[in-house]
Amino acid sequence: MPLVTTLSSLAKAYRRYSTSTLRDVVIAVGSNQGKTFSNFTAALGLLKKHSCQVVRYSRLYETAPAYVLDQPPFLNAAVVVRTSLSPESLLTTLKNVEASLGRQAGGQRWGPRPIDLDIVFYHAPQVLSLDLQEASQQQAAPSESTAQEADVDGLGSTCMGSEPAADEGGGQSIHPALRDQLWDAYRCWNEWKSTSLQGSAAGVQGQGKVDIRCVLPMGKLGCWAWQGRSHIMGILNITPDSFSDGGQITSVQQAVQQARRLAEDGADMLDVGGQSTRPGAAFLSAEDELERVLPVIRALASDEALTGVAISIDTFHARVASEAVAAGAHLVNDVSGGTMDPHMYSVVADLEVPYIMMHMRGSPATMQQPKNTAYRDACTEVGAELGHRIQNAVAAGIQPWRIITDPGIGFSKQAAENFRLIAGLRRFRYALPAPMQHMPMLVGPSRKRFLGDLLGSQDNAVRDRATAVAASLCIAGSANIIRAHNAAIVREALAVADATYQQS
> What is the distance, to the nearest Å, from the Cα of residue 173 to the centroid of all Cα atoms in its chain?
20
Which amino acid is located at 249 in the chain?
A: I
Q: How far apart are CA 501 and CA 483, in angstroms?
A: 19
Set 82, 463, 483, 491: catalytic member: 483
From 59, 448, 463, 491, the catalytic residue: 448
What contacts 24+ positions apart, CB below 8 Å, involve 255-261?
A: 255/296, 255/299, 255/300, 256/296, 256/299, 256/300, 256/303, 259/234, 259/300, 259/303, 259/306, 259/309, 260/303, 260/305, 260/306
DSSP state of 283: P
- The answer to whether the CB of 328 falls within 8 A of the CB of 302 is yes
Report how far apart the first and last C-alpha atoms of the chain are (Å, whole number).
65
The residues with which 310 forms a beta bridge, in sequence order, are: 269
122 membership: H or E segment, kind and range:
strand 116-122
β-pair type (61-63, 74-83): antiparallel
120 phi/psi in degrees, rounded to 5? -100, -50
Q: What is the DSSP letter of 395?
A: H
Instruction: Give the CB-side neighbour count of residue 481, counting CA atoms within 13 A.
Output: 25
String of DSSP letters for 210-254: TTEEEEEE-GGG-EEE-SSS-EEEEEEE--SS-TTTTTS--SHHH
User: Does 483 qualify as catalytic in the annotation?
Assistant: yes
Active site residues: 448, 483
